[in-house]
Amino acid sequence: MVLAAWLPLLAAIGCGDDAPKGKAPPAPKNLAHQRLHAPGEVRLTSAGAEPRVRLRYRLEPGQYQGFRTSVSVKHRAAGQTSSLTAVLDWERRVTGVSAGWAQAEVSVRKVRLARPASIREDVVRRLMAMSLRFAIDARGRARATARGAATARTRATARGAARGTGLAAPMTNGILEILTAPLPADAVGHGATWERYEPVTLTLPKTNLKVRLGVRTRYTLALIKRGGRERYAQITSRIQLTAHSPGPTPGASRAAWAAGPRVTGGGQGTGEIKIDLNHATVVSAKSDITLDLSLIEKSRTRTLKQTTTTSTRAINLRPRPRRPRPRPTGSTPHPYPTPPRPAAPG
């Protein structure tokens, strides 16, 4: 799955438990030492059994898909545990394809559930205002310059969500953005495996501390037959996360390392995505990831432990009419075409 879909809610790190530390921890390892291949690139480790198929997603201008996603977040900080839950319907449109890259848009259609009740109004307002845009190819790879791209209104909304309820942040970062697993370039069969390493830099709220999060994901393919032929591709994944903060410059004294601030820890999780091979579209996806971080500053430690669970399935969601694109004064208007309603998955 897309890296951002695994990113946690980090706002609570600013109010974690305090505990004194008696000695300076070792300096964090360089991220480059943990790379098996170029960041973001897929490395095929086994092609699997015969017969093999070349896995690709269908990306055509006017393509439309509806999804329903459930999100549950539980985090513990400052000795207290809190839970956030939401269920929402959202849509993804492919507005154009150029040189193998598809331009896509994502927006929320309806927020069906948001708990606790005290955050519902704020969550619904922020999510309904979102309109994300990005670029992907048929292998599920996102352009680095396009990932997370959005209108100025959306960026402001996302920042407000992170400062406010904290629930909209993981949705903005990945659940609504892209629903794909990266696919290998070569044909693969049942039992095939591949992996990807991807580093990301985050800024922790309340501290402005930059944290590098290394995410290594290993994928395994199962081809499911119906009527004697391969009908679905089920891709399961195992995720390892390692947090690294820049810390003092190389050669700094142990006292400088002890003073921090630094972030250590990591996490792990699992995921699964099911692809309809007849239509080359996603049928369902789910994930479960736990992150355990420690913020070390001035020989004290604040901790955050968080579990995020998501479940998504394709639904028949009727496309809503689109407004005509603005045109120069005096030009002949042409309504933006409404894509046809897709067939039911499966």
Whether the pLDDT of residue 11 is over 90: the answer is no
Q: Please count the structural domains in the chain.
A: 1
The per-residue pLDDT for 324 is: 59
60 in a structural domain: yes
Cβ–Cβ < 8 Å for 195, 219: yes
Q: What is the mean pLDDT of residues 98-119?
A: 90
Q: How sure is the predictor about 190, in pLDDT bands with cuts at 50, 70 and 90?
A: very high
Measured distance CA(218)–CA(1) in Å, rounded = 10
pLDDT one-digit tens code per residue, 62-104: 999 999 999 998 888 778 888 889 999 999 999 999 988 999 8
pLDDT one-digit tens code per residue, 155-164: 444 444 434 3
> 3-state class of 69 per DSSP?
strand
Measured distance CA(59)–CA(211) in Å, rounded = 34
Nearest by Cα to 150 from 171, 125, 123 = 171
Whether the pLDDT of residue 38 is over 80: the answer is no
The per-residue pLDDT for 31 is: 32
257 in a structural domain: yes
Q: What is the domain range of residue 226? A: 3-312
Whether the pLDDT of residue 220 is over 80: the answer is yes
The per-residue pLDDT for 291 is: 86
- Of the given ranges (6-20, 166-180, 241-255, 263-277), which has the lowest mean pLDDT? 6-20
70 in a structural domain: yes
Paired tokens of 42:
């897929």
339 in a structural domain: no
Please name the residue ranges forming H helices in the chain.
117-128, 152-163, 168-170, 254-259
The per-residue pLDDT for 270 is: 94
Q: How sure is the predictor about 263, in pLDDT bands with cuts at 50, 70 and 90?
A: confident
Residue type at position 173: N
Q: What is the mean pLDDT of residues 197-207?
A: 72
Whether the pLDDT of residue 292 is over 50: the answer is yes
Q: How many residues in total does the chain contain?
A: 346
Q: What is the mean pLDDT of residues 21-28?
A: 40
Q: Which residue has the tokens 């995020």?
A: 308
Q: What is the mean pLDDT of residues 303-319?
A: 91
334 in a structural domain: no
Q: What is the mean pLDDT of residues 265-279?
A: 94
The per-residue pLDDT for 218 is: 95
The per-residue pLDDT for 329 is: 54
Whether the pLDDT of residue 217 is over 60: the answer is yes
Whether the pLDDT of residue 14 is over 60: the answer is no
Give CA angle at 53 (49, 54), nearest 5°.
Answer: 130
Q: Tell me the percentage of the chain whose pLDDT exceeds 90.
A: 37
Whether the pLDDT of residue 281 is over 70: the answer is yes
142 in a structural domain: yes
Q: How sure is the predictor about 54, in pLDDT bands with cuts at 50, 70 and 90?
A: very high
Whether the pLDDT of residue 1 is over 70: the answer is no
340 in a structural domain: no
Whether the pLDDT of residue 154 is over 50: the answer is no
279 in a structural domain: yes
Name the percent of the chain in helix, strand, coil, to the closest 5.
15, 45, 40
Give CA angle at 87 (85, 93), nearest 5°.
Answer: 135
- Of the given ranges (44-53, 64-73, 110-119, 122-131), which has the lowest mean pLDDT? 122-131
